[in-house]
Every structure is written in structure tokens, then in C-alpha cells.
Amino acid sequence: MEMNAKSDKQTADQTIFTSNQHPPGAIEHSAAVKRAAFGADFAWGVSTAAYQIEGAHDIEGKGASIWDVFSGKKGKVKLNHNGNFACDFFNRYPDDLELMQSLSIPNFRFSLSWPRLLPDGHGRANQAGIDYYNRLIDHCLELGITPWVTLYHWDLPYELEKKGGWANRDIVGWFQEYAALCAKHYGDRVKHWMVLNEPMVFTGAGYFLGVHAPGRIGFKGFVPAVHHATLCQAEGGRVLRDLLPGAEIGTTFSCSHVEPYRPQEKDIKAAIRVDALLNRLFIEPSLGLGYPLQDLKFMRRIEKYILAGDEDKVKFDFDFIGIQNYTREVVKHSFWTPFVQANLVPPKKRGVPQTQMNWEVYPQGIYHILHKYNQYKGIKKLIVTENGAAFADQLLDGEVHDTNRVDFLQRYLHQVLRAKQEGVKVQGYFVWSFVDNFEWAEGYHPRFGLVYIDYETQQRTIKDSGHWYRDFLEGKQKF
């Protein structure tokens, strides 16, 4: 594993932390990358998630989600923003899909809202919710846009959270029921599925740190939530495959290339732990490798939740793995940080460029992470299901000149192509995000879209990056 590399194997990338300089190759990128270089069968698209764009939080029979409840509590989300109205995509999807089509975007990744379909999480289905996604999917297909559907992008029905949510093993049954309902209603038209969105984030931020919904803190809920999410990841895959034998079934992971701050034993070991936590915890059991407890001793308490037969139940042979990459993490040993005994060294401290999220701009990170996942024997195919950047966009005279985002996307794409040309099985790339949207605990402030949203008027303005993506997809970019 990369993280074990000692100084003799150290790359240029790893040495930069002592010098506070930008890594070579990070700033300049060679001639603009062209779509054709990725091959005709490479899937291009944009990504979104239900809670971040739909709004319509309480209409047409939708049940509350943990995000409705969490964002309704004071001080949980910046400026007390919430997703009640968001981009009003629930009502505006026909126009938004036409906008997408006008940008020549062939694939659209979106998620289904579990509480819109099953207001109580299980049992009674909401016909209006079922009809809504039927209309959305049909409209995509009418416009020649292929739907890529995520089953779970963090908006757990609140009724299930009341019963323990991800920390309750019953969620396996609830999730199977939900997955089967989605397969039954949409499987005739949806051929690309993703089971979970970033389990490390929704368990870690939601059940351990408490900064995301449902806002729980500590190991008590987190550790069982990890195991139950790992079980659901596989069970969801099995339900979809049984009911939809022809479908392509994947799941997605947040992943960041991790490096030690200094080339010292302690930092290198800290980086190994952080890498195991951020990048290996959910993929390895699904591949039959078990949890990486050797490198993550404090997670051994998970064994208590592993029942006989679970080693097999967590396995699933996914058709593709969704890689969601934004940045890299640089890690320093910290005696005082409980359990993981490591701290992330923020980009500001390292004097490197960052986005509005304070995430380092580090294009080589996506190259390294693609290589890392490519090394796992059981992975058949990788798709970058999210990549993008938030910048402080300005709408001036009906235009948004987000050259920084264009530059970001081009440089990351360049690294994706580099990995592909070296034999990495990467077969798709989705920009996060189509439109600006509700960025979880950060509210509406960070803008990730190719399309700018004026939240007062709900007016859409295609940013320069949107025009760039269209030109790129049409094979005629001028950059």
C-alpha cells in the first residue's frame, strides 16, 4: 500500500509538505483534455441528490427525513438554512432537464428520497412520490438523458431514526424493502443504480461527529451504524440484482488520497490509520477482505455487532464502484486526538490552494485514488460519480465567470485521463454538481454548480463552467 512507502519510495508528491510549495504538475496542465481521448464508451454526466435540490419537503405525502429534522434545529446548519425549498427541482425538473439537454449532458445521477416513497420508512408507500420519480425518469428518457439512480443519499426517513436509524440492525430489512420498491417501480427504465452514497460520511459525520443528520455523537451509534451500512450496501446490491438481472449495480465512496505531513514514522503511521478509516472501511468487507481492523485498532469494537454469517452477507460483487473525490488529506500524528491519534493539516496551514469548502485543490489526488482502488482485485470498473469544486461565484450582468472551476475540472480530468491511459479501469466521470444546491451543514453558501441559482427568484444562469462542459462534451472546447 502506498501509505507504507518509506522515504526511499517517496514521490515528489509526498515531499512537498516540508517545502510548502505546490507540487510539480499541479499548477500547469498540458493542452486541454479532449472528450475523445477517453473513448466513446466513457460515461459523462452530472450528479445531484434529492435533499440538496428537490425542496417540496412536506408536500404530496412525503414523510420527514432526518435532514428535515436536523436542519430545523437551530445552529445545526450555517445560517440555519434548510432544504425545504432548495432548488425547487421537484417542480422545475422539466425545465432543468431541458437545460441539461441543452448542455449536451448525456447522464444524470440523482437520488430517490426514501421518505417521499415510504413516508414511515417501511410499510405504506406514497403513490404521489412513486409517480413523481416516474415522471422524472420518463422525462429524462424523452430528452435522451440516461438516469443513474442512487438509492440512499443521506435522507433517512425520520420515522426510522426514531427507531434507532442506522444503529438498529432492523435497518437491513427496511432497506431491502425500500430497494425492492425502487427496483419494482423504476427498474424497467433505470439501468444504472448506486446503492449508497458515501457511507463513511453519513455514518461518521451523522453518528460520530454529530455535524450531519441525525446529529449523534460518539461510538455508541457510530460503530453499529458502520456495520449496518456495510450490510445494507451488499443487501441493497443483492435485491437490485435479483430483481433486475440486466442492470449495472454500483455503490459510491468518498475517497481522498492520504499522505503523511512529514516523512516520519509517526506521521506515516497516522496516515495509514486515516487512510484505513476514510478509504478502506466500507470497500474491503464488500470485497471479502473484512474490515481493516489491523490498521484501525479502535474499530475492533465493531466485532460485537458482527453476527455469524455476516462475513458473507457484507460481500457483493458490484458492477462498478463510484469514486467521489475532491481533495487530498495530509495527516500528522496527534497524541491528543482520541482513537485515531491523527490530525488533518488544513490547506491554509500548508499554504496550498483551496476551494470555498477549505478543501485543497490537488488534481493528482484523483489520479492516486483511482490507482489505489484499481489495485483491488474484485473491482471490475470505476466511475468517478462525483468531482467538482465550490467557489465564490459572482453573478454579474447575467453571467458567471468561474474560470477557477473550469481550471479545476480540466486539471482533475487531465489526471483521470492519465490514470486511464496507464490502464486504470475508469469508465465515467460525473461533475458535482449540475446546479448550486444545499450543501448540508454548510447551507447554500458554497456553490458547486455548473449552473448558478438565484435562490430568491429560482432563476438559473449557466456559468462559464457549464458552457465549457457543453463544449467539452460536444468536442469543441476553446479553452
Q: What is the DSSP string of 26-89?
A: SS---S---GGGG-TT-EEEEE--HHHH---TTSTTPPPBHHHHHHTSTTSSGGG--SSSTT-H
Cα separation, 420 vs 367, whole angstroms: 9
438 binds ligand FCB (CB under 6 A): no
Q: Is 146 helix (H, G, I), strand (E, B) or coil?
A: strand
440 scored as a contact of ligand FCB (CB under 6 A):
yes
Instruction: Pick one of 201, 209, 211, 379: the residue that binds ligand FCB (CB under 6 A).
Output: 201
Q: In the annotation, is 159 catalytic?
A: no
**CA 20 centroid distance within chain:** 29
- CB-nearer residue toward ligand FCB: 14 or 47: 47
Asked whether 243 and 183 are in contact (CB, 8 A), the reply is yes
Q: Which is nearer to ligand FCB, 83 or 237 (CB)?
A: 83
In the beta sheet, which residues pair with residue 330? 259
432 binds ligand FCB (CB under 6 A): yes
Q: Which is nearer to ligand FCB, 35 or 109 (CB)?
A: 109
The C-alpha cell at 141 is 428518457
Spatial distance between the Cα atoms of 314 and 209, rounded to a whole number of angstroms: 25
| Among 13, 54, 96, 198, interactor with ligand FCB by CB under 6 A | 198
DSSP code string of 364-409 = HHHHHHHHHHHTSTT---EEEEEE--------BTTB---HHHHHHH
Q: Please tell me the distance from the alpha carbon of residue 388 to that of residue 381, in angstroms, as a whole number.
A: 21
The single residue of 198, 235, 259, 329 carrying the catalytic annotation is 198
Binding mask 3-42 for ligand FCB (x = CB under 6 A): ----------------------------------------
Q: Active site includes 386?
A: yes
In the block, which residue shows the cell 478509516?
277
Is residue 19 within a helix (H) or strand (E), and if so which, with residue range? helix 12-19
How many Cβ atoms sit within 10 Å of the Cβ of residue 392? 11
Cβ of residue 52: shortest distance to ligand FCB, in angstroms?
A: 6
Contact range with ligand FCB by CB under 6 A, out of 223-231, 314-322, 362-370, 432-440:
432-440
Binding window for ligand FCB (CB under 6 A); candidates: 60-68, 136-144, 196-204, 332-340: 196-204
Q: Which residues pair with 11 in a beta bridge?
A: none
Is residue 389 at the binding interface for ligand FCB, with CB under 6 A as the rule? Answer: no
Interface with ligand FCB (CB under 6 A), residue from 3, 43, 49, 87? 49
The residue among 81 and 315 lying less far from ligand FCB, judged by its C-beta, is 81
Kindly tell me which of 23 and 466 has the beta carbon lying closer to ligand FCB: 466
CA proximity to 285, closest of 256, 327, 251: 251
For position 393 contacting ligand FCB by CB under 6 A, the verdict is no
Contacts with ligand FCB by CB under 6 A lie at 49, 52, 197-198, 201, 254, 324, 386, 432, 439-440, 448
- Give me the active site residues, please: 198, 386
